[in-house]
Each structure stands twice: as C-alpha cells, then as structure tokens.
Structure 1
Amino acid sequence: MYEKKIPLNLNCGLDLIGEVLYGKWKIRLLWFINEGHKRPSELQRKIPDASRRVLNIQLKELEEHELITKKIYPVVPPKVEYSLTDFGKTLIPVIAALGQWGDDNEERLKTIILSLLK
C-alpha cells in the first residue's frame, strides 16, 4: 500500500480541502456527476484526456472521502453508477463559484498561463 513520505498537514480548512480535492480531475468528476453523468463510460467521454485508470483511482478517493457513492447493479455485465452524497452536494456551490471566477477572468488567465509556457 502507498505510504506518504510527507506527513499530512491538516491544520486549516485549506489544507483539508486540498487533501480531499487534490487530483487533476476530481472537481470535474464531482461537477459531471452532479449534472447527471453517473456511469464510468459517461464520465470518460466527458473527460477524454484522462485515462480510465486515473479516473477510477480518483473516483475511489472521492468515494473514500464520502463525497460520492458507488452503486453496483447485479446484472451481467456489471452496471456501475456514481452519485453525490449529501456531503458531496455541499461542494457544488463552491465549485460553481470557482468556475464563475474562471469564466469572469478567462482572458486574463489564458494570457498568463500561455505566457508561462513560453
């Protein structure tokens, strides 16, 4: 099992949210699950740049942090659906606010990010 080399620092809310949402695709996964995209194949189509393996790892971590639940239907082939928990739903307004800030500052952020790549 993976063991972290750097000890956890959970001294404030920012540390806690960083620990829970650290991962390139987690915020998008939460958003898309909230929008109704619940099957792994649907999530893969919404985030084509992410590998299925990485999405599965991040979905598992979101489940471990009690932000989503996974339901496995007893059919062949197995059918899996994810949904937000009540706890996970409390993050949606925060994600929406971050998305709105990104939209409001889109041009400035694109210019800054692209200039750093040169």
Structure 2
Amino acid sequence: MKNFFVLTLMAIMLLQTFSKVVVLVDFQANKEYIMEFLCINRDKPELECEGKCQLTKKLKAQHDTDKQANERGQKQEVQVNLYCQSLPVFTSYSPIAIVSFLSNYSFSHTSVAYHSIFHPPKTIV
C-alpha cells in the first residue's frame, strides 16, 4: 500500500512537470480524431491545419494554467545566513595567572603538560 501511494505521488509530480509533453503526446495519439471532429479549419483543407489549431489552443491553456499556479505559489524569499563572516576571539590564559591569591604554598610547578598537548602539528620530512 505504501509503495502504491509513493508511486502515485511520483506519477502526479512527473505529469505536472512534463505537462506540455503530455499535451503533445495526447495530440499525436488522437490526431485523426482532432483533425476530423475538433479542428476549427476542417472545412478548409487548403490551410493544411491538421489539428494544429487545437494543439496551439491546448498549449496556450496549459501555459496559462502553469502561469496562474506559479503566481499563486510564489512566496516571499527569505535569506538565511549559513556562515559567520567574523570569527570569535579566543583569549588564551595561563593556569598560573589564574591562581594569584596570597598563600604560603609556593607554586614551583609549571604547566608543562598543558603546552605539550596543545601545539601545532609537526611535519615529518
């Protein structure tokens, strides 16, 4: 059931997209009937219309329908920025500068591990 629903929606979308092609195929399939019964110029064989008047009428009607659908479906454009032009400023700090209160304990230890982990990659040549 789900596959049938999906295939039906796809067929409707494709028919809407290729509506002019559908009109042309319909004209070619029913050309004899159109020439004999629907053509405006069927009484004037010297014009050699062969139903092209009906084809032109159907294509114009299809064009007008598409134009009306586009006018109804037009929406206001919304611009969304997906990137940031300015980079945020990161301030670096040293762990020793943060602990600046008075104490009897001497801070002789430096943060060697902090600088040994976070460094630019080295290229091996």
Indicate whether the TM-score tops 0.5.
Answer: no
Report the structure number with the largest CA radius of gyration. 2
Pick the TM interval, shorter chain: under 0.3
**TM (normalized to structure 2)?**
0.25
